[in-house]
Amino acid sequence: MTYTVQIKVMPLKELLDPQGKAIAGGLQNLGLSGIEDVRVGKNITLQINADSSGQAEQIAEEATKKLLANPVMEYFEIAIN
Amino acid sequence: MTYTVQIKVMPLKELLDPQGKAIAGGLQNLGLSGIEDVRVGKNITLQINADSSGQAEQIAEEATKKLLANPVMEYFEIAIN
């Protein structure tokens, strides 16, 4: 069966996010008020062919640790639909 | 009150996603099997100071339409926690 797995990769909360800061400045220049903080990360959708959702999650976790996220700067969350 | 708004910006399903294709190739080279398709988008977290969650959602939608997403190539989903 094919499972759709969503992986969210975000910069660690302790670290500065220059891309987010730039977007926050841009939004302020556009006149949008009330936005206090912006953080930008990746969202990766995998279509995984596996026997069970547990196996699909395992493959997704291995893929994230080996290639998709850098644990020094990022944390990740995996969700299976 | 401060609301946390998650915005997911993904390439339109009809379009090729070269970054996703590159990641799919990389995962195959790493020996991970079963991954049929990869698509990569952005995940943006906003901290919005607003009177209600409806107002926060409205600000987030305006920000997304004005700056964060390109409707020609991307679609977006907004979620409030």
Write down the domain spans for chain B.
2-80
Q: How confident is the model at residue B81 (pLDDT cuts 50, 70, 90)?
A: confident
The model's confidence at residue A46, banded by pLDDT at 50, 70 and 90, is very high
Do residues A28 and A70 lie in contact, with contact meaning Cβ atoms separated by under 8 Å? no
Could you tell me if A59 and A51 are in contact, meaning their C-beta atoms sit under 8 angstroms apart? no
Query: Measured between alpha carbons, how far is B12 from B41 in angstroms, rounded to an integer?
Result: 10
Confidence label for B71 from pLDDT (cuts 50, 70 and 90): very high
Note whether B35 contacts A44, CB cutoff 8 Å.
no
Measured between alpha carbons, how far is B63 from A33 in angstroms, rounded to an integer?
Answer: 10
B41 has which bridge partners? A43
Please return the burial class of A55, using the count of CB atoms within 10 Å of its CB with bins 0-12, 13-18 and 19+: middle
B35 contacts on A by Cβ (under 8 Å): 46-49, 59, 63
Interface contact flag, B68 A44, Cβ < 8 Å:
no
CB contact under 8 A, A32 and B68: no
pLDDT at position A81, please?
78
Instruction: Tell me which residue of B43, B32, B38, B41 sits closest to B20, measured CA to CA.
Output: B38
CATH number of B2-80: 3.30.1280.10
CA-angle at A17, arms to B80 and B68, nearest 5°:
50
Asked if the model's pLDDT at residue A65 lies above 90, the reply is yes
Centroid of chain to Cα A70: 11
ipTM: 0.90
Kind and range of the H or E element at A40? strand A35-49
| Residue range B2-55, pLDDT digits in tens | 999 999 999 999 999 999 999 999 999 999 989 999 999 999 999 999 999 999
- pTM of structure: 0.92
